[in-house]
Amino acid sequence: MPHQEHVKRGRVAPGGATAGLTLVELMIAAGLMTLAIVLAFGSLISVSEARRISEGRTIAADRVASVIEEMQGLTAAGVLAYEAPPFTGLGADEQVTVRVFAANGTVVTVPLDSNATQPTLPDPCEVQVLVTWQDRGRTLTQRASTLLSLGG
């Protein structure tokens, strides 16, 4: 009985190698392509979120600088009565808090209630401005502190 050879199916490339891919090779390639696409979309989402947070921080830093600039040259009474203007752009939860440090070291949030005891402020007076807002359930803050020379 003559020896029977297995017949290889598929195209034969020059040199005798079989051309084409097996089903397993195609499934592995499809899986790797799917993984690459998922990772690419995931990174696009991360970049988009980082951009949004960065834009929020930039807006908040502008708010802080604006408040500090408005307070330049105020008297002690003006600093204690200062009320930050309403801002928009960071959402409904945006808050601007201004604190000053009294001569005795206590922290006073302004504007001070008119019935409250007026603290003595040193000259220069340390002022801290804090902007707080919500972004997708996270509380973000931007703050700055400076010394103000009290006018008058």
| pLDDT tens digits along 13-43 | 566 556 677 889 889 999 999 999 998 888 8
Rounded Cα distance between 59 and 81, Å, is: 25
In the sheet that holds 95-101, the strands lie side by side as 107-110, 95-101, 125-135, 138-148
Q: What is the pLDDT of residues 56-108, one digit of tens each?
A: 999 999 999 999 999 998 999 999 999 999 888 888 889 999 999 999 999 99
Which pLDDT band holds residue 127 (cuts at 50, 70, 90)? very high
Which pLDDT band holds residue 6 (cuts at 50, 70, 90)? low
